[in-house]
């Protein structure tokens, strides 16, 4: 529009013989009107452009926040219970080395592995093919409490004995099978130790609630 107006005005100049004051004033007013119209058009264009830019930034921030929240939730959901022995997620590291000790119950003695750290307790007997007769695993906790056990990743059945801080057996479960997973089992009384033995050991050796164990390292 601006350039068309200039061409029309220039054509008027060429077709007129004289440059009268009223004609020059008309020419000036027309020129200023076109300048004002062009400025208004540019202002509208600039405002729309800035509005679109702000909208794009807001959309980008929303997508960024959404993706960040998604990955945080996903990461949190991956922290699940994967231990066959406790609710602490184990580090299944072949470099874990267990100390050994002997546990005597009445006239029977068992060679046991000591699980006395969170990683050792979490890993427990999971992944092993079997547990030989006369062997077992003794779980040692930091303080008396309620310690549930389950059979995740277990390949054989076991007898489980919960023992208090006075080394007395307070609860026994016999023949706990891998198929019981994901059920968890706990003693109704607080315990400080938990002893796992091969299936059938409790019945064979006549072990019962109230018996005392002796641990020798």
Q: What is the pLDDT of residues 89-126, one digit of tens each?
A: 344 455 688 999 999 999 999 999 999 999 999 999 99
The pLDDT assigned to 91 comes to 44
The pLDDT assigned to 67 comes to 63
The pLDDT assigned to 96 comes to 82
Structure tokens at 212: 């005392």
For 95, the enclosing helix (H) or strand (E) is none
pTM for this one?
0.59
3 state SS of 122: helix
The pLDDT assigned to 152 comes to 94
Q: Walk along the chain (217 residues) in steps of 10 and give the mean pLDDT of each run.
A: 44 47 55 59 62 66 60 40 39 72 98 97 94 97 97 97 98 98 97 98 98 96
The pLDDT assigned to 59 comes to 73
Can you spell out the DSSP letters for 153-191? T--S-EEEEEE-TTSBEEEEEEEE-GGGTT--B--SS-E
Measured between alpha carbons, how far is 80 from 63 in angstroms, rounded to an integer? Answer: 28
List for the chain the helix, strand, coil content (%; round to 5).
40, 25, 35
């Amino acid at each position: 529009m601006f350039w068309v107006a200039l061409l029309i005005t220039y054509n008027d100049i060429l077709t007129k013989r004289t440059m009268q004051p009223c004609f020059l004033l008309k020419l000036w007013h027309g020129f200023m009107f076109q300048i004002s119209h062009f400025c208004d058009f540019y202002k509208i264009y600039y405002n729309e452009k800035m509005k679109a830019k702000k909208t794009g930034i807001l959309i980008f921030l929303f997508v960024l926040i959404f993706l960040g929240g998604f990955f945080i939730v996903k990461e949190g959901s991956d922290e699940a219970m994967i231990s066959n022995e406790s609710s602490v997620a184990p580090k299944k590291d072949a470099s874990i080395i267990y100390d050994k000790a002997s546990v005597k119950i009445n006239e029977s003695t068992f060679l046991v592995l000591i699980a006395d750290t969170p990683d050792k307790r979490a890993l427990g007997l999971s992944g092993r093919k079997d547990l030989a007769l006369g062997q077992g695993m003794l779980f040692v906790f930091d303080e008396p409490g309620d310690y549930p056990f389950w059979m995740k990743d277990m390949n054989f059945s076991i007898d489980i004995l919960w023992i208090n801080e006075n080394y007395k057996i307070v609860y026994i479960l016999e023949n706990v099978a891998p198929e019981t997973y994901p059920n968890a089992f706990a003693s109704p009384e607080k315990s400080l130790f938990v002893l796992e033995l091969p299936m059938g050991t409790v019945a064979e050796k006549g072990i019962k609630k109230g018996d005392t164990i002796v641990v020798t390292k």
